[in-house]
Every structure is written in structure tokens, then in C-alpha cells.
Chain A
């Protein structure tokens, strides 16, 4: 079944837009032109009768989720277990958005309507969670789930709760990684470590650049299995200046510089992950890692198209528009 999953991913990857095609789409002058260009692609049917920008955003996210749901559908055994754990990042995003919407008092119907409908066994009932009247009530519903660690953080700041949720997510993914063959598992672990390292690097900039307490930055950081040691990030976060921070983290100095120059964090993070994945394209062509590569490519395509749609909507100049494209900053996607 693994071979089927990998070969299906190869087939499905042919549906993805190339980096060049995405850059061409970025030249669209209006949303209708954007829609027309995407008509012959997987997005065509979803975008057909769509007019408003929020409908475009929803249509793009639905295509991404459908792709992920299809992967879950055709996978089985340990692969399915791992993919469910890996794609729990979408559930995590849903949970974090629900918590924030509880704080800003959004109606339950609206909360549920805006969730990403990923088909994985729910760690917690999102509908029940959206019913909560306070963060503490919502946290109590996380007891007994994989997110139990954050349930103990009642009364804590939202940023700390979210960090605990992320930590629980990564722990679950790394636990389920044991079900994946060793070589693939190692590569995936490296990729996840890079993702954690980049988040840690971003958190380490908070005290010197924005005056955060080191303790808060520390709580946002996670130990990565194959990345830099956590204490290096903690040490770096104690730097009195950015220059010193850059000296302490030379591995991620470009990333930190970009972040401080105003490039969006997720754009840089996904670019770095894609560079890593792309560098391993030959060795991983027939491996399970290719599935992860496909998932990442889908996410990059979805985010790039969403960025283009919003750039058109906000009339962002072309040169700035390209700065928002993940695929524009890396080799052919």
C-alpha cells in the first residue's frame, strides 16, 4: 500500500502548478483574471462561481484540504497513522483559531464555518470546543487528549497556551514517526527539526528585538530531535543585541535577518523547508518522504495562490507581491 501511496503522490504532483506558472499567475490584474487562469487546474471547479475574495480564499483552502483528505483516504496502516499525526497541524490550527475566537467572542456558527475540514479522528470535538464560553472552559475540554499539557495552563497567556499546543503536536508527530521506515523517518525527523529550529530562532529574536522576557521566549521554544540544542537558542535569546544574536546563531542568521527586515515568518519558514526537501529530491523519489514533499508542495501552492489573490485584492505592487510568494524565493517547486 505504501508503494501505491507514493506512486499516487507522483501522479497527483503532476496536477501541481510549477513555480513559473505561479509567478505568471501573480501578474493577474484582477480576481476574475486570476480565476480564469486557474480554470483548467484543480481549482477551476471550486472557483467557477466565486466572486468575492473571502470566497476565493475558502475555495483555495478547500482544494488543499481535499488533497490532504484524499491522501488520508488512500493511505493505510502505519503510514496512515503517521499522516494523521502529521496533518494534525491543521487540527492544531483549528484549535488555536477557536481559542482566539472565544476570546474575541465570535459566534459559534461562524467559528465552525471557518474551520478547515480535515478528516482525521478528532483529538477533541471542535464543535464542543467552539461552544466554550472562556479559554479555561475550552482548556478543560483538552484534558485526556494529546493536548493535555496545555489543559493545565489555565489563566496563562494565549501565546503560552498555543506554544504548549504546538509542543504537544510535535511530540505526537515524533511518536508516530516510529511507524515510518528508518531512512524516511530520519529525513522527516530532520525536516521537522528544521521547522522547530526556525520557530525557535524566531522566538529567540523576541527579547533582543522586542523586549520580551527571556522566560517567555524560552516557553515558546521546543527541543528538536535533530536540530540545534535548545540551550543554544535560549542562550541566543539572552543576547543584548541583534548582532550578538546573529553571531550566536550563524546557522540561521539569514533567516533572522529576513525576519527582522519584515519578510513574513511563514514565507521564510516554508521557503527553508522547501529548499531542504528539494535538495533531497533524487534520493527520496521512491520513498515515503516523497509523500511529505507532496504535502509541502500542496501547502506552498495553496499559500502562494492565496497570497496572489489577496495581493490583487489589496493592489499590492508586483515587486512586493513576489516577496510574498514562497515558490518565488526557491528553486522550481
Chain B
């Protein structure tokens, strides 16, 4: 930290110390936020890992099913079967704050009712695709939350590191320099006063 704008006064030193205490409090708070975010992230990552294992198994099963349907009925049939469905999947989200991070949370998911809409050769495949889409929506929300939390963690980490490794040490070194300079000044003053006192004593004598 440069010495520009710094006054060599005890008052200024006290102000600097007050600021340092404030910054250290902020660092502690940010560290708590970071730890909280890590905890949230870890929980959700475990969840996403479990989810992904389940999803990849189901995706593979669905891929085989789609491949089988494609092989038996051809491209045109596969391409046109969504035409039977007259509704679309709708998702309602609400916002939630975790450590100040706004994340979406699934409030409800409206899966179209497939009954009475598909011919017999399509219905079981349509059901599989529909239930897979449902968990895919849940996974994508979870992944989005993880992305938001990770981004916030990255920012918080940068802030904590900046405080811990740059700002606080520079404040500490500035305070030390100021203290050194002030004690040197005090010593000079003390010596000066002592010398003046000696001169005055000698004159009186």
C-alpha cells in the first residue's frame, strides 16, 4: 500500500486499526459464507451424482427403446409421433435465496396426460419419454443451482483470498510502519525534550 494520502498521526493510526478490525470481521463473514456455500454445494453435488447415475441408466434404456422403435417403424414414424400430444410440459419455478444467492426451486411440474392420445404402438414409449423428461427437468434445475452456487463460491473465494492475502496484510504492514514511524517520532520528541530540559537545567545552574 502506498503512503499517499496517509497522515502520520495517532488518530489516523487508530482509524486504520478500526478499519482493519472491520475488514477482518468482513473476512470472517465471507469465510462463513464460503463454508456455507461449500456445504450447500457438496450436498447438491452428492444429489446430482446420484441423479446422474440414475439418469444415465434410464437414458441408456430409453436410447435402446427409441432405437428399437426407430428400427421397427422407421424415421417418419419416430419423427411424427409427438403430433399426437396436444399439450406441452409446463414447469413452475420459485426463487429462493441461499447465502444471498438467488436460486430457482421447482414448485410444480405439469406433465401432459398421455392417456387417450397415443395409438397402442406408441404409448409405452411415450410414457417412458415423458417420465424421463420429468427427471431431466429436475436435473437441469439442480445443475443450474450448482452453477449459480459455484459461481458465487468462486467470487466469495476471490474476495476472501484478496482480503486474507492482499488487503489485510497491506493494512497490517501499513499500521506497523505507521506505528514504527510514530514511535520513532515519539522517541525523537522525547530525546528533543530531554535535550531541551538538559539545556534549561544547565542554564539555571
Contact = CB atoms under 8 A, between A and B. Distances in A.
Q: Do A and B come from one complex?
A: yes
Nearest to A315: B67
Given A99-B83, A101-B80, A114-B76, A157 B117 contact: yes
Interface of A: 54, 57, 61, 97, 99-101, 103-104, 114, 157-159, 162, 199, 202-203, 205-206, 210-213, 216, 220, 259, 262, 264-267, 303, 306-308, 310-311, 314, 316, 320, 323-324
B75 A158 contact: no
B120 interface: yes
Contacts of A220: 119-120
A311 B67 contact: yes
A316 B67 contact: yes
Contact of B115 (A162, A210, A310, A311): A210
Given A100-B80, A205-B120, A206-B120, 18 more contacts: A61-B74, A99-B83, A100-B83, A101-B80, A101-B83, A157-B84, A159-B117, A159-B119, A202-B120, A210-B114, A210-B123, A212-B115, A264-B73, A307-B72, A310-B67, A311-B71, A314-B70, A314-B71
A171 B130 CA distance: 35
Given A157-B116, A267-B72, A206 B123 contact: yes
Interface in B70-114: 70-77, 79-84, 86, 114
B118 interface: yes
Contacts of A202: 120-121
B21 interface: no
12 contacts: A57-B74, A97-B76, A97-B77, A99-B83, A159-B119, A162-B119, A266-B121, A307-B72, A308-B71, A310-B70, A320-B64, A320-B68
Contacts of A310: 67, 70-71, 74
Contacts of A159: 84, 116-119
B69 interface: yes
B177 interface: no
Label chain B's interface by main secondary structure. helix
A202 B119 CA distance: 9
Contacts of B124: 210, 262
Contacts of B79: 104
A114 B79 CA distance: 12
Contacts of A211: 115
A267 to B, nearest CB: 6
Interface residues of B, number: 32
B194 to A, nearest CB: 96
Interface of B: 63-65, 67-77, 79-84, 86, 114-121, 123-124, 127
Nearest to B69: A264
Contacts of B114: 210
Contact of A264 (B75, B115, B121): B121
Nearest to B119: A159
Contacts of B67: 310-311, 314, 316
A301 to B, nearest CB: 14
A220 B67 CA distance: 26
Contacts of A311: 67, 71
Contacts of B63: 314
Nearest to B124: A262
B82 A316 contact: no
Contacts of B81: 100
Nearest to B73: A266
A232 B11 CA distance: 101
Contacts of B83: 99-101, 103-104, 158
Contacts of A206: 120, 123
B75 to A, nearest CB: 6
A129 B83 CA distance: 16
Q: What are the 6 closest A-B residue pairs judged by CB atoms, nearest first?
A: A314-B67, A100-B83, A100-B80, A310-B71, A264-B72, A103-B83
A227 to B, nearest CB: 17
A211 B123 CA distance: 11
Contact of A316 (B68, B75, B123): B68
A212 B116 contact: yes
A101 B79 CA distance: 9
Contacts of B119: 159, 162, 220
A311 B81 CA distance: 20
Most chain A Cβ neighbours within 10 Å, of B83, B115, B124: B83
A307 B118 CA distance: 23
Contacts of A97: 76-77, 80
